[in-house]
Chains A and B, each alone.
Chain A
Amino acid sequence: MKKLFLGVLTAFALAAGGTFAGTLDDVKARGNLLCGVSTGAPGFATVDDSGKDVGFDVDYCRALAAAIFGDPMAVKFVGLTSAVRFTALAAGEVDILARNTTWTYSRDTDLKQTFLGVNYYDGQGFMVKKELGVKSTTELDGATVCIQVGTTTELNLADYFKENGMSYEPVPTADNAESQQQYLAGACDTYTTDASALHGTRVNLENPDDHLVLPEIISKEPLGPLVRHGDDNWADIGRWVLNALVIAEEKGITKANIDSWKDTKDAEIHRLLGTGDDDILAMVGLPKNAMYNAIKAGGNYGEIFENNLGATSGINIERGVNASWTKGGILYSPPFR
């Protein structure tokens, strides 16, 4: 009896004290990837009419799942609000967080997260109803502002209005949907969040033409996927899947033409697609054709952008700074070697 009791106690202690070191092994053993995404950010993570998860962040996680399992559908999406996302990641409820999250110093250091890179260079903007007649953020003195709690936008907002000597009244909301509802009901004059999310939200409103995203961008919001501290190999995998998608666009590798590169003289492409002799992906514990599968899943970075945020999606966000460095943007991946 006593032995049984001690045994149970030890088992409990071991189970609860499990480490996070071997995330890749855990993911493989589970058979699917747990990806934390937004509970509803048009263009980044939403559910389409057929009940399928779609979006820019969703496609990144599908590419990662494809790299690990060869199957882009081997991923389970966990909707997280901005308030619980870091806790969920730290507690191991998700393996990776791809939830339009801004990379900041304190999140990187004090929150003990590892950012894998930037997949979207964003900035905070404001949306207003056209009937207000406001054309610039400098005219927003005294306005009531809807804002999601627990985001960097909240801090930017306070700083921006203070710097410009303007006053405002914050109306805190839990998520994008609630902000939208309050904004439409007129409980706030303007809704502020990342400009990309504003564009995505606007096109889904009943009359998109009644609303205007103001031209000013008041902050830098480099969005990217992140993992928790403590498993560098896992961070490397996530980082290089993201880089592979960027390199693929740079090299012109698309979902459609990915099989036609077998005879190319470009050694980097052979390394990337696993068609050459070296198997450098074994260094992180992935199969040789992992990046081939990742690119095959949803196309290269440019294709994912077009399908979810660009012209094809109807949201019509320009590539701008998010274009490849070869096309005047600032997307630049370190070499794949």
Chain B
Amino acid sequence: MSSPTLPPSESFKFSMLLSDTRYRGMSLQVITFIIFMAVFFWLVDNTIKNLALLDKDVSFNFLWLRAGYDINQRLIPYTSDSTHGMAALVGILNTLLVAFVGCIIATVIGLFVGILRLSKNWIVAKLMSAYIEGFRNVPVLLWIVMVFALLTEFTPAPRAFKGAEPEATMLFFESVAITNRGTYFPAPVLAEGAYWLLLCFGLSIVAVIYFIRYANKQKKDTGKSLPTFWVSSVLIVFPTLILFFAIGQPVSLEYPYLKGFNFKDGIHLRNSFLALTLALAFYTSAFIAEIVRAGIMAVSKGQSEAAASLGLRPNKIMSLIILPQALRIIVPPLISNYLNLTKNSSLAIAVGYMDVRGTLGGITLNQTGRELESMLLLMGFYLAVSLLISSFINYFNRSFQIVVR
């Protein structure tokens, strides 16, 4: 397209596809596309041929067959009589649980560490750098195994809690037991009337949201800020608490107790879950901390100086001036870290956590011998989750950016 002055006078010749700059770009793209498709079809064709050679077909019927194996952590009802499809679903929920909890912990720690790394206090800043460099530069698999080893090797076995003078005791008024098989917490038991409490709690949250909106509007219109934190806390805690005692304490706690080999009742957080979630969260938080630091440093120094000259206190400068501007820079790379954490959760088998890689891609794959099908399903799942996460946060990001501008 570099010679627009001369109209094409000579007739079209085949060789012009490569020699003429008007066509070259297009023909190179076409050639590349053909080569790409040829390789792609060769791979598919080759796979089909080799499968036929091994006398294997591609079928997803195994998902409806009896699984026959048990899974320790189940968020939905599942027994060994359930199907392989259900086992995959149990695994998917376990993966999502680790990803969800891990992302929240990673964000909270990452935000704190990132801000504290910029602290003027030398020790705090150096400690935070050590945290970031330590977690960022060691493979996450090693951290997972390390945390798991710490949790299993240095905690007492359930048996140690037995006897008149046990070697180990439960913490917090006999309510929490930390063992080498996991940590047991009291579980809430809902009695009649508990739903009123939930309703009341929900209404409190709605009230808080409206109050914050009102406070923001007030601030914009008059410049006065209301004590949002205190009012919100009171709104959330007191109505529910008063109702709780008013209708006769409908929620009780079910304490874990030792029976036979293990603790019974209560909420059981397995060491495999704890190790995987914590290690992934620590590892990812180091990256998030660096993103937060970069976001804050990208806000011009003049902004904080101007805010200071207006008499704002440092914490107000951070929350009102710097963070809102830094967030615009922070959010997009944050997505990729959430995606990384979700995908890294497939290392779960290292500590025996039954995520989707462990059920569908591990035991089911092994028992049924459907490698290709299981792997395709797994890839489809991770792809779908990753695209969902990024589109959700992209949506959030867009609305956020427009509001600020």
Does the CB pair B55–A230 fall under 8 Å? yes
Q: Which of B55, B152, B371 contacts A229 (CB 8 A)?
A: B55
Q: Which residues of A contact B294 (CB under 8 A)?
A: none
The proximity string for B residues 39-71 relative to A, scoring 1 for CB distances below 8 Å and 0 otherwise, is: 000100010011001111000000000001111
Among B42, B260, B271, B369, chain A packs the most CB atoms within 10 A around the CB of: B369
- Give the total of B residues in contact with A, Cβ under 8 Å: 42
CA distance A87 to B181 in the complex (A): 32
Does the CB pair A149–B362 fall under 8 Å? yes
Q: Does residue A185 face the partner (Cβ distance < 8 Å to B)?
A: yes
Q: 8 Å CB contacts to A: which residues of B240-273?
A: 259-262, 264, 271-272
Residue of B nearest to A228 (CB): B54
Q: Does residue A144 face the partner (Cβ distance < 8 Å to B)?
A: yes
Q: Which residues of B contact A142 (CB under 8 A)?
A: 259-262, 264
Q: 8 Å CB contacts to B: which residues of A219-273?
A: 228-230
Does the CB pair A158–B68 fall under 8 Å? yes
Q: Does residue B153 face the partner (Cβ distance < 8 Å to A)?
A: yes
Q: Does residue B25 face the partner (Cβ distance < 8 Å to A)?
A: no
Residue of A nearest to B153 (CB): A185
CB distance from A64 to the nearest CB of B (A): 22
Q: Which of B46, B55, B71 contacts A170 (CB 8 A)?
A: B71
CB distance from A121 to the nearest CB of B (A): 22
CA distance A205 to B260 in the complex (A): 26
Q: Does residue A168 face the partner (Cβ distance < 8 Å to B)?
A: yes
Residue of B nearest to A172 (CB): B352
CB distance from B314 to the nearest CB of A (A): 47
Contact status of A158 and B80, CB under 8 A, knowing A86-B366, A111-B369, A149-B349: yes
Contact status of A170 and B72, CB under 8 A, knowing A86-B369, A187-B181: yes
Q: 8 Å CB contacts to A: which residues of B55-94?
A: 55-56, 68-72, 79-80
Does the CB pair B55–A158 fall under 8 Å? no
Q: Which residues of B contact A157 (CB under 8 A)?
A: 70
CA distance A82 to B54 in the complex (A): 21
Does the CB pair B271–A187 fall under 8 Å? yes
Among A149, A169, A172, A185, chain B packs the most CB atoms within 10 A around the CB of: A172
Residue of B nearest to A12 (CB): B42
Does the CB pair A17–B80 fall under 8 Å? no
CA distance A173 to B358 in the complex (A): 10
CB distance from B284 to the nearest CB of A (A): 24
Q: Does residue A174 face the partner (Cβ distance < 8 Å to B)?
A: yes
Q: 8 Å CB contacts to B: which residues of A1-28?
A: 9, 12-13, 16-17, 19-20
CA distance A182 to B352 in the complex (A): 11
Does the CB pair B80–A9 fall under 8 Å? no
Q: Which residues of B contact A17 (CB under 8 A)?
A: 46, 49-50, 53
Q: Which residues of B contact A143 (CB under 8 A)?
A: 260-262
Q: Does residue B207 face the partner (Cβ distance < 8 Å to A)?
A: no
Q: Does residue A90 face the partner (Cβ distance < 8 Å to B)?
A: yes
Q: Which residues of A contact B187 (CB under 8 A)?
A: none
CB distance from A170 to the nearest CB of B (A): 5
Does the CB pair B261–A144 fall under 8 Å? yes
Residue of A nearest to B56 (CB): A112
Q: Does residue A278 face the partner (Cβ distance < 8 Å to B)?
A: no
Q: Which of A19, A90, A144, A172 contacts B262 (CB 8 A)?
A: A144
Does the CB pair B362–A112 fall under 8 Å? no
CA distance A281 to B170 in the complex (A): 70
Q: Which residues of B contact A82 (CB under 8 A)?
A: 366
Q: 8 Å CB contacts to A: which residues of B7-56?
A: 38, 42, 46, 49-50, 53-56
Contact status of A162 and B261, CB under 8 A, knowing A83-B362, A149-B366: no
Contact status of A112 and B46, CB under 8 A, knowing A86-B366, A187-B271: no
Q: Which of A16, A106, A141, A170 contacts B70 (CB 8 A)?
A: A170
Q: 8 Å CB contacts to B: which residues of A103-140?
A: 106-107, 110-112, 132, 140
Q: Does residue A189 face the partner (Cβ distance < 8 Å to B)?
A: yes
Q: 8 Å CB contacts to B: which residues of A142-196?
A: 142-144, 149-151, 154-155, 157-159, 161-162, 168-174, 182, 185-189
Does the CB pair B261–A155 fall under 8 Å? no
Q: Which residues of B contact A171 (CB under 8 A)?
A: 72, 181, 272, 352
CA distance A228 to B366 in the complex (A): 16
Residue of A nearest to B151 (CB): A187
Q: Does residue B368 face the partner (Cβ distance < 8 Å to A)?
A: yes
CA distance A172 to B361 in the complex (A): 14
Q: Which residues of B contact A111 (CB under 8 A)?
A: 369
Q: Which residues of A contact B68 (CB under 8 A)?
A: 155, 158-159
Residue of A nearest to B50 (CB): A17
CB distance from A168 to the nearest CB of B (A): 7
Contact status of A150 and B366, CB under 8 A, knowing A144-B262, A189-B261, A228-B54: yes
Q: Which residues of A contact B264 (CB under 8 A)?
A: 142
Q: Which residues of A contact B180 (CB under 8 A)?
A: 185-187
Does the CB pair A87–B363 fall under 8 Å? no
Chain B residues engaging chain A, CB cutoff 8 angstroms: 38, 42, 46, 49-50, 53-56, 68-72, 79-80, 152-153, 157, 159, 180-181, 259-262, 264, 271-272, 349-350, 352, 354, 358, 362-363, 365-369, 371
Chain A residues engaging chain B, CB cutoff 8 angstroms: 9, 12-13, 16-17, 19-20, 82-83, 86-87, 90, 106-107, 110-112, 132, 140-144, 149-151, 154-155, 157-159, 161-162, 168-174, 182, 185-189, 228-230
| A to B CB contacts below 8 Å, 8 in the list | A87-B371, A150-B363, A155-B69, A162-B79, A171-B181, A171-B272, A172-B349, A187-B181
Additional 9 contacts, C-beta under 8 A, given A140-B261, A142-B260: A82-B366, A107-B369, A141-B260, A144-B181, A150-B365, A154-B69, A172-B354, A172-B362, A185-B153
